[in-house]
Structure 1
Amino acid sequence: MTIRLGRRQFLMGSSALAAAAAAGISPAFAQSALRLIFWGGQARADRTYAVTDLYEAAGNPGLEAEFLSWNDYWPKLATQTAGGTAPDIIQMDYRYIVEYATRNAIAPLDDVIGDLGEFDADQLEGGKVDGQLYGISLGANSVATLVNKAAFEAIGEAVPDNSWTYADLERLGEAFNSAGNGMRAFSDGSGTEPMLDNWLRQRGQALYTADNKLGFTADDMVEWFQMWDGFRQKGYIVDAETQALDTGAPESSMVAMKRAAMMPSNSNQLVIHQSINDDELTISSYPRIAPGVGGGHYRKPSMFFSVGGSTADREAAAAFINFFVTNPEAGAILGVERGIPCNAAVREAITPTLDEQSQIALNFVANLGDLVGALPPSPPAAAGEIDLNLLRVISQEVAFGARSPEDAGKAFVEDATAILARANA
């Protein structure tokens, strides 16, 4: 039977993962039920539990499942990995898959995953590290701007379409300020790694190169922090104290709290955010750096299921993952909450059944046009540390006035370069 555990907060950081690798952790005993861990809100949990119940009803092994918010998830997973108690099935993100794979915290799947049917080739490639398959994509998605339609209607402005720019963000910032209702146009995106990545890609640069180096300079980061600091000073985005209320849970987002009309998100997250918002929501692209400039977006594996490196039964864990992504009945339950299904038969079966928000998400990913560029290389092993412990921290220091954008840009590149050098040594 599925055991449904709620969120817990753990304090140990991502350094625990390195400790696990150094200790050579291996499974101590076989378990009677498979353990599954994933991040997300209650709506994702309800869908996931319905699929685990479906799997068990078919006579398969039982599962114990646990979900946490994004911010709580990675410290918890690192703690479990360090302690030799990592789950059998792990929800994995594109930015961390290299780190977990190279430290043997997740296991290769090539010889155990079985027939996935007609599965999107780009999504399979996204789950490979050094030519081996370590993650099965649970859906294709793209970065997106989450938009509160009612907030735009209230000030008489049209919801931005996929042609909108950062200059439009400034114009809308002025419009929301003039409305005087306390809502800002946008949340603070300065510490949002996907938004930085998108901005760099539009400029012909990259967050990381294929040889695990930074794809930009200190001057670029100074410009990035200056742009967002300018938005902040003019009141186009929420202030530092308000942004700090966002814990990573959908319920604490700036849109859910009605502090901002827009925020960076992902196409698949429209479903979960709509489930907790009374205002009607939609999605648009990230802003363009100038009219007609594209290439910043890409079809990203929304997330993966991976098999824990210390699992006692890789075959059983892989069998559940196969079922999760290829069974049409499971697909009908899951919808597009984790992204557009990668199995063609599942995608075809569920499309006519999708609700309005799910149809919006599907159509958004299918019609990005010139915004779409190539899938970037898998982030290096240290990408998680740079995102969590550097970009987010330094961006907050700028927001609270503890650093200037000029100092922040230089410090970020220096510290990120040092982190990458240590990881690649």
Structure 2
Amino acid sequence: MTFRMPRRQFLMGTSALAAAGAFGLRPAFAQDEALRLIWWGGQARADRTLAVADAYAASTGTTPPEGEFLSWNDYWPKLATQVAGGTAPDVLQMDYRFIVEYATRNAIAPMDDYLGGVLNLDDFDEDQLEGGKVDGKLYGLSLGANSVAMLVNTTAFEEAGVAVPDRDWTYDTMREIGEAFKAANIRGGMTGMSDGSGSEPMLDNWIRQRGKPLYTAEGKLGPNVDDMVEWFTMWNEFRDAGYINSAEDQALDTGAAEVSMVALNKAAMIPSNSNQLVIHQSINPDTLTITSYPRIAAGVGGGHYRKPSQFWSISGASQNKEAAAAFLSYFVNDVEAGKVLGVERGIPCSAAVRDAVAPTLSEQDQIALNFVANLGDLLGPLPASPPNAAGEIDTSLLRVLSQEVGFGGRSAEDAGKFFVDEATAILNRAS
């Protein structure tokens, strides 16, 4: 069976490819067809990505790559289905928490054979190269450096008469902000912040400030039961006090920027990443900015780190690996491509592209660049790559427990113990 994807067809949700994979039908693609790409993100990211794909085709005289994009929550089940069915696109957007799993299962291919040839990374940031390696081989090409960040609706803060938190704010400050928003009662009861109990990056930042990794270099779980009970208890207190969204409201957030608690006017802040300011601002009429995640106490830092915002990886099943590597080289090295991409996926990793792009950035892009460059004492070392199955712990355990606790189905004590027991079992099964 041959399945041909029309140019610029974006498949949102269940696709013909996934359906074919589910029934054991393996679409056959000729090796001379256009490269196929898949990524998570919204329309703004798609517009930038496809503009660069078209520019690459024009510069090389090749057929323009074809693209497909989904929201974060929809992306991973779809990609897993495609990989299992042998229909994965040539180029996949990959996340730091999943790269080990995909590399060890040969779902993505090492790029080392193309280095110095069609893939030129001579002026690439070394820490970003290291972040894409698994067992010493390059499986992911960083699309930008970023850091976790709190996305802040400054217009809402002004309406509530509350100062926007600076880099020294703490979880105690969160309580003060929550009280102030309750008293102001703006926009039908907007809270100071969304529920972060199911946010893996926020848990990671919190536990790092306590001197522990979320995962050790040996692939073991860092937090213990007491840590996780305290985590869920803190968010229960915030929820019960009305400082964060109700579980019912939080369930509306399915991962797309358009349904975030900020976009829906449910909360004035959400845990996010520095590069996501651009996409959120593009869909929000209010003025947005970013600040750091809260400190666990005044003067405590080290929770943040500069990480690859995401990677491009080459499918292990691709019949066009060299062509894919050539496209990736253009994507990260071409100055004009860099100007189109901006910092929507993070701060460019090529020094030449970064220098060329900086003067052209919008106000939001400049905010993101300056935030990542000036983390100060908030900055800690890049942790080891998350172990195999870390993604499962994030999506199928932490997020589920967050909802169960939020809706009253579990106590914080039960959730804390269950998280540690089940996460440990998942890691052991995957090792």
Match of 2:58 in 1: 57
Tell me if structure 1 keeps the 8 A contact 2:150–2:293: yes
Q: After superposition, where does 1:18-37 map in structure 2 within 5 Å?
A: 30-37=31-38
Is the counterpart of residue 124 in structure 1 residue 129 in structure 2? yes
* Corresponding residue SS for 2:409: coil
- Match of residue 113, structure 2, among 98, 111, 114: 111
Secondary structure at the aligned position of 1:397 is classed as helix
Q: Deviations over 1:66-109 (max 9, x none)?
A: 11111110011001001000110000000000000000000000
Match of 2:248 among 223, 241, 245: 241
Render the CA deviation track for 1:390-416: whole Å, top value 9, x for unaligned: 000011100000000000000010000
Of 353, 356, 359, which aligns to 2:360?
353
Contact 1:140 1:340 in 2 (8 A): yes
- Secondary structure at the residue paired with 1:306? strand
Letter in 2 for 1:47: R
How is 1:221-232 mapped onto 2 (pairs within 5 angstroms)? 221-232=228-239
Alignment partner of 1:414 is 2:404: no
Equivalent residue for 1:373, pick from 368, 372, 380: 380
How big is the shift at 1:2? 8.6
Aligned equivalent of 2:196, options 172, 189, 196 = 189
SS in structure 2 of the partner of residue 211 of structure 1: coil
TM-score normalised by structure 1 residue count? 0.95
The Cα shift of 1:35 comes to 0.4
* RMSD, aligned α-carbons: 1.9
Distance 1:281 1:2 in 2: 37
Q: 2:8 aligns to what?
A: 4
| Secondary structure at 1:118 match in 2 | coil
> Which of 172, 185, 199 is residue 177 of structure 2 equivalent to?
172
Supply the AA of the counterpart residue of 2:46. A
CA distance in 2, matches of 1:185, 1:2: 44
Moved over 6 A (4+): 25-28
Asked if the contact 2:10–2:67 (Cα under 8 Å) also holds between the matched residues in 1, the reply is no
Give 2:52's aligned amino acid. V
Shift of 1:7: 4.5
Q: Is the partner of 1:214 in helix, strand or coil?
A: coil
Query: Hey, what's the Cα distance between the residues in 2 that align with 1:10 and 1:215?
Result: 36
Give distance in 2, aligned partners of 1:7 and 1:27.
Answer: 19
Shift of 1:31: 4.8
| TM-score, normalised via structure 2 length | 0.94
1:272 corresponds to: 279
Quick one: structure 1 residues 305 and 355, their matched pair in 2 at CA, closer, same or farther if it must change by over 3 Å?
same
* Cα separation, 2, equivalents of 1:7 and 1:60: 23
Aligned to 1:76: 78
Q: Is the 8 A contact 1:27 1:311 kept in 2?
A: no
| Residue equivalent to 1:14 | none
Q: Which runs of 5+ in 2 are unaligned?
A: 16-20
Alpha-carbon distance in structure 1 between the residues aligned to 2:9 and 2:384: 35
Task: State the distance in 2 between where 1:146 and 1:301 align.
Answer: 19
The separation in 2 between residues aligned to 1:305 and 1:26, in whole angstroms, is 23
**How big is the shift at 1:10?**
3.8
The residue type equivalent to 1:36 in the other structure is L
Aligned to 1:311, which of 318, 326, 350?
Answer: 318
Q: 2:87 aligns with which of 69, 85, 88?
A: 85
Q: Is the 8 A contact 1:40 1:249 kept in 2?
A: yes
For residues 327 and 27 of structure 1, the distance between their equivalents in structure 2, rounded to whole angstroms, comes to 32
The amino acid of 1:262's aligned partner reads M
Q: 2:288 aligns with which of 281, 294, 303?
A: 281
Equivalents in 1 of 2:51, 2:64: separation in Å? 13
Aligned length, in residue pairs: 415
Structure 1 residue 180, shift from structure 2 partner: 1.7
- Looking at structure 2, the residues matched to 3 and 10 of structure 1 have their Cα atoms a distance apart, in angstroms, of 18
Runs of 5+ consecutive residues of structure 1 not aligned to the other structure: 12-16
Report the counterpart of residue 18 of structure 2 in structure 1. none
Counterpart AA for 2:9: L
Amino acid at match of 1:358: D
C-alpha displacement of 1:28? 7.3
Contact conserved, 1:150 with 1:279, CA < 8 A, in 2? Answer: yes
CA deviation after TM superposition for structure 1 residue 117, in Å: 2.7
8 Å CA contact 2:27, 2:87 repeated in 1: no
The question of whether the paired residues in 1 share the 8 Å contact of 2:175 and 2:238 is answered with yes
Task: Provide the residue aligned with 2:47 in structure 1.
Answer: 46
Using the alignment, how far apart are the partners of 1:2 and 1:199 within structure 2? Answer: 45
